[in-house]
Chain A
């Protein structure tokens, strides 16, 4: 039902203008006079509404002008500050960067936009003419469950409560699902992980070649030149490779492909690299030849048959020079499985204009033999480190100052970063092989961790620096008190504590969902981390 915001009254100017009780000499004149009087009433009502309207506009414009002035002042201050910035003079210590608090926007969400307080005054006047609800709140004292009796009659917060409950339950469910997920994605969770789809840049490169003015023959034209385009790719291995990572084609030293079923023994990320090597190897005679020579072995056996026509096309169209538009391998490959194959292919790789990160020159790190064994070992080692660090910190503190009343260790006491403080254990192992492949290495690492280390003197720990600074009387910044601010702001809105207003509920929801995706990104970055480590 549309509600008119402003109503100019009286609506009917001529009704009821003839007085009934007293006789008038001329009814026509009476009607005219009454109509004129009502018209004047309409004018007055209109002027009242106009005044109200102009008042609202003026308030709004004044608010905007104030904000603009404040913004102008801020811009001026900012301009002065920016001109004073000099990166050559300022010194930025690592401590400052570490202790710097994250940026938090001070902007507030506007909420409760359609409440009684934001109702325009004209509509409020209309609203005030409504009948009040019956005084059911007087029955509150006779209720046992303590609920407001009037809310059974009318409840403006009903839908908000409904929404709030739903959102909170949703958030709880997401959080619960997050708790369950790490148990599933344990050591063997890798098997169910989604395999990254091979990133084919063939079409892109083809388009780029066309825009550069080169001519790429269609397969029909190739047939005209007695060139058989590559047959349709053996669909099963490729499809299976995309569907799950059970089929891992790996290159073998004889230059062919084999589809290995055993996932453990094959190195998964070696695929694109071997493709590239294979293509280079099989392309070489084509490039130097007349461009019509094909290696049938390749086109028959390769599960990546679709890669062939473009090479065939390029070889046929511009046979004398290598096509610069070789699709780079989609994921960087850590290592090629056969140790002798890559050096044989490296010279041909040098002709590639977009050079992929060459993993061949570096000493090949052995593929992780046991895929699921490395991360648990890593976690175990870090947990051990954290525990040892904590114990050493406690022991060192007790032995250093037994008599004096030492300040307590930092209360959250997060375990010190596990990587730096374990030079004897992880030093040689991490340099040679980033991930010790066998459980024997785990035992070695654990045994190397056994002898108690001197408690944290050798490495400069910023936390101990901070502790020392606290003892010396450094002035710490105060913790931001956001809760007070929030409660101070929202207490006008029906005494809304935390999680009772839209902004905090939405913020919590967004935080939960973001942490959810970030955990997923962590698992992905784990992969890339493995790659970079093994490639280095």
Chain B
């Protein structure tokens, strides 16, 4: 098996490094996207949880107020 010329090997290796750099950029971008998605998820969930909490307490207050102003016959 004849060995390919030295220039060819160098060229292939250089091309391979270029490809690896390209893949590295892609995978780095994927990591960035993943990080962003995770942080976005956490942030949204914490905000939604805060909102849910406030909403629940508001609902309880409204329950109480409705019971205060409601007469007995319409109390369900």
Binding site for B on A (CB under 8 A): 8, 13, 26, 28-29, 31-32, 35-36, 39, 42-43, 46, 49-50, 53, 57, 60-61, 64, 67-68, 71, 74-75, 78, 81-82, 85, 96, 99-101, 103, 105-107, 477
Q: A29 contacts which chain B residues (CB < 8 A)? A: 15-16, 19
8 contacts across the A-B interface (CB closer than 8 A): A8-B30, A13-B23, A13-B27, A28-B15, A32-B16, A96-B71, A105-B60, A107-B63
Complex contact B34–A8 (CB within 8 A): yes
- Chain B residues near A477 (CB-CB < 8 A): 72-73
Q: Tell me whether A60 and B66 are in contact in the complex, defined as CB-CB below 8 angstroms, given that A28-B15, A49-B37, A53-B37 are known contacts.
A: no
CB < 8 Å: which of A49, A75, A82, A101 contacts B69?
A82
Q: Is the CB of A32 within 8 A of B62?
A: no
Residues from chain B with Cβ under 8 Å of A57 in the complex: 41, 44-45, 48
Given contacts A28-B16, A57-B41, A71-B62, contact A39 B23 (CB under 8 A): yes
Residues of B within 8 A of A26 (CB): 12
Given A57-B44, A64-B51, A64-B52: A50 and B27 within 8 A (CB)?
no
Chain B residue, CB-CB nearest to A99: B72
What is the interface of chain B, defined by CB distance below 8 A to chain A?
A: 12-13, 15-16, 19-20, 23, 26-27, 30, 33-34, 37, 41, 44-45, 48, 51-52, 55, 58-60, 62-67, 69-73, 75-76
Alpha-carbon distance A364/B54, docked complex (angstroms) = 57
Q: Whole-angstrom distance between the alpha carbons of A60 and B26 in the complex?
A: 32
A43 to B33, CA, bound (A): 10
Give the CA-CA distance A31 to B16 in the complex, in Å.
Answer: 9
Q: How far is the CA of A75 from the CA of B58 in the complex (A)?
A: 10
Q: Say whether B30 contacts A39, CB under 8 Å.
A: yes
Q: Is the beta-carbon distance between A101 and B37 smaller than 8 angstroms?
A: no
A67–B33 Cα gap in the complex (Å)?
32
Bound-state CA distance A228–B21 (Å) is 94
Q: CB distance A103 to B23 under 8 Å?
A: no
Q: A46-B34, A49-B37 are in contact. Are A64 and B55 (CB under 8 A)?
A: yes
Q: Select from chain A the residue with minimum beta-carbon distance to B17.
A: A28
A78 to B63, CA, bound (A): 10
Apart from A50-B37, A477-B72, list 17 A-B contacts with CB within 8 A. Answer: A8-B30, A8-B34, A26-B12, A28-B13, A32-B16, A32-B23, A36-B19, A42-B27, A61-B48, A64-B48, A67-B59, A71-B59, A81-B70, A85-B69, A96-B71, A96-B72, A106-B63
In the assembled complex, which residues on chain B have CB atoms less than 8 Å from the CB atom of A101? 72, 75
User: How far apart are the CA atoms of A81 and B27 in the complex, in Å?
Assistant: 61
Nearest CB of A to B58, in Å? 6
A78 near B62 with CB under 8 A, answer yes
- Once bound together, how far apart are the Cα atoms of A247 and B72, in whole Å? 53
> How many Å from the CB of A57 to the closest CB on chain B?
5
